[in-house]
Amino acid sequence: MKFAEKIRSFFSEKSVLSQELFDDLCDLLVEGDFGAAQAYQTVELLRESHKKEKFSAEALPLKLAELLEEQLLKAGTGTGYPPFDDPKSIPENFTVILLLGVNGVGKTTTAAKLASLYREKCGLKPILAAADTFRAAAIDQLKIHGDRLGVRVVAHKHGGDPAAVVYDAAEAAWAGGGNVIIADTAGRMHTKSALVEELRKIDRVVAGKSDTGRCVKYLVLDATTGRNALAQAEIFHDAVDLAGIILTKYDSTARGGTVFSLACELHLPVMYICTGEKYGDIETFNPRRYAREFAGIG
Ligand SMILES: Nc1nc2c(ncn2[C@@H]2O[C@H](COP(=O)(O)OP(=O)(O)OP(=O)(O)O)[C@@H](O)[C@H]2O)c(=O)[nH]1
Ligand SMILES: [Mg+2]
């Protein structure tokens, strides 16, 4: 059963706002991948607002959704949801988007989806950069996507320097070949310091190419890994300055509370949600819709 259905049936069975209901809701949130402390805190806030406003049991799902939405919006403050939503915000020069993440979370697939999304919905000219030079097949995998989509792919040989790939992609963009570079990285290093060093090098390459060029780092997380995804985010966020999260495989998960933990515990906003293997299976994250769906509304 999808979590949204579960929470919906939970609310539909309750007509009285009792202590027991709040306790059960807390357990349910934990089941939905909330951290225990955060679930407790959320329910406490609901309880307090109930004391003041005396709303009915029927109003509880909406109150929960509003509270959750607020938490999500707070995480997005300063970063903005999502960067290219508004076609008027097309960058003057170029933006490099680096996709980071552990093995198999969906980085390469997401790179292709973003290229398609930016071109179709935002009118941008994307370039794919094969900066995962670590795995031999990774370059070909990205080239296949590029061919299918008709998007240019900048690639070097297997084992090459990822920063040099980004440099060449930036050259191509600078020469008018594009305005958004999506770099598929190996996204993991043997040590944190090696990862940090690698990313600093890429930052320098981008900064050296243009005053207004910017480098945005997104961490790709597999939604099916639940609380483990949060642990990954913690490690990466500690090592590098992440702009946000891309959540993949949301089609295969029943829960989704991790999104609220990312927002509340790490102040990391989710930017995109991927719901399948096709290019179109990506959506810009909508805090209101997400909070309402989670609370079983609509
Ligand atoms: N159902 C579903 N599958 C996905 C989604 N995103 C990616 N996948 C699948 O997940 C698998 C791994 O995807 P990749 O894009 O190769 O992952 P990666 O992070 O690049 O993997 P490595 O380069 O090996 O680290 C593939 O079979 C994808 O089709 C999604 O949103 N939903
Ligand atoms: Mg890959």
**Residue to substitute in 158, 277, 283 for testing ligand 1 pocket (most ligand atoms within 8 angstroms of CB):** 277
Confidence label for 5 from pLDDT (cuts 50, 70 and 90): confident
CA distance 69 to 63: 10
What confidence tier does 255 reach under pLDDT thresholds 50, 70, 90?
Answer: confident
Q: Which atom of ligand 1 is nearest to the CA of 135?
A: 23
Q: What's the one-letter identity of residue 296?
A: G
Q: How far is the CA of 282 from the centre of ligand 1 (A)?
A: 13
Q: What is the model's pLDDT at position 92?
A: 57
Cα of 138 vs centre of ligand 1, distance in Å, is 12
Helices (H) and strands (E) in the chain, counts: 11, 8
Q: What is the pTM of this model?
A: 0.92
Residues with CB under 5 A from ligand 2 (ion): 107-108, 138
Burial of 176 (0-12, 13-18, 19+ CB in 10 A): exposed
Q: What is the mean pLDDT of the chain?
A: 88
Q: What per-residue confidence (pLDDT) applies to 105?
A: 95
| Range with the poorest average pLDDT among 19-23, 140-144, 255-259, 277-281 | 255-259
Measure 281 CA to ligand 2 centroid, in angstroms.
17
Average pLDDT over residues 51-65: 93
- Residue 232 binned pLDDT confidence (cut-offs 50, 70, 90): very high
And the tokens for 220? Answer: 């790709």
Indicate if the pLDDT at residue 87 is higher than 50. no
The SS3 call for residue 23 is helix
Element holding 184 (H helix, E strand): strand 180-184
CB contact at 8 A, 66 and 291: yes
Tokens for 80, please give them.
């903005």
* Statement: residue 78 has pLDDT above 70: no
Structure-derived torsion over alpha carbons of residues 267, 220, 25, 53, reported in degrees to the nearest 10: 40
Instruction: State the sign of the Cα–Cα–Cα–Cα dihedral 51, 7, 81, 162.
Output: positive
